Amino acid sequence: MSVQSSSDTNKRAFQWSTVISLVDQMVLQATTKLDDISDAGSSISIGNMFDMQLLMNRLSQMSEMSTNVMSAANSAATSFARNTK
């Protein structure tokens, strides 16, 4: 996630494209791993299970982080709007 500053004003804007791209990549990795596991049929290795668990853990943390950051930004904007009345 990057924050860019405009040269015309002192506004700052979140660039969510980096976070969205990262989450999309993680979803693609998890989907690919699930396809690999299903192609293996009834034989699955412990290593594949741990890899899948790690991928899902990372995906869960990244989606939770992005949700929390968006919630904090929304809360800050709401507080700012409420206090400028």
Residue 16 is assigned to a structural domain of this protein:
no
Residue 36 is assigned to a structural domain of this protein:
no
What percent of the residues of the chain are helix, what percent strand, and what percent coil, each to the nearest 5? 70, 10, 20
**CA–CA distance, 9 with 47 (Å, rounded to integer):** 52
Name the residue range of residue 53's domain. Answer: 46-85
Please state the domain count of the chain: 1
| 44-69 residue pLDDT tens | 888 888 988 999 999 999 889 888 98
Residue 19 is assigned to a structural domain of this protein:
no
Top-confidence residue, 75 or 37: 75
Residue 34 is assigned to a structural domain of this protein:
no
| 10-22 residue pLDDT tens | 666 667 788 888 8
